[in-house]
Structure 1
């Protein structure tokens, strides 16, 4: 391709078939640029989605820790209430 371009630069008259080739190359280049831009946009969307997923995972991890702590407090309180109830029952039975 480079050789052909160099040869065309030296010509004072460009034959019709060479002009057609140049047009094809320009159109191909334009299509390739459009594909590159679309790939870049898709990559930016993917990166944004990945970062959002990371933030969501961090939030869910924090929520999970808070729910676990709350559940542990509830279990502790229930165990205490059960112990108190058992003690009261044993005191009433004696």
Structure 2
């Protein structure tokens, strides 16, 4: 292709079939540019979605950690309440 373009540059008269080939190549180039731009747009969307998913995962991980801590406190308080209740029952039994 490069050789053909160089040969055409040297001509003073360009035959019709060569002009048709040049037009075809130009149209192909425009289509390829459109495809490249669409792929870039899709890539940008994918990157944005990935970053948003990372943020969501970090947020949910933080929430999970807070829920776990709260649950551990509840369990500790329940264990304490059970121990107190057992002590009171043992005191009533004696």
| TM class by smaller structure | over 0.9
Find the counterpart in structure 1 of residue 91 from structure 2: 91
Are 2:8 and 1:8 aligned? yes
Gaps of 5+ in 2: none
The alpha-carbon deviation at position 13 of structure 1 amounts to 1.2
Matched pairs, number:
94
Q: CA RMSD in A?
A: 0.7
Runs of 4+ in 1 over 4 A off after TM superposition: none
Residue segments in structure 1 that go unaligned for 5+ positions in a row: none
1:38-83 residue CA offsets vs partner (Å, 9 max, x unmatched): 1101110111111111111110111011000000000000001100
TM-score calculated relative to the size of structure 2: 0.97
Counterpart position of 2:40: 40
The equivalent of 1:54 in structure 2 is 54
**What is the SS of the residue equivalent to 2:13?**
coil
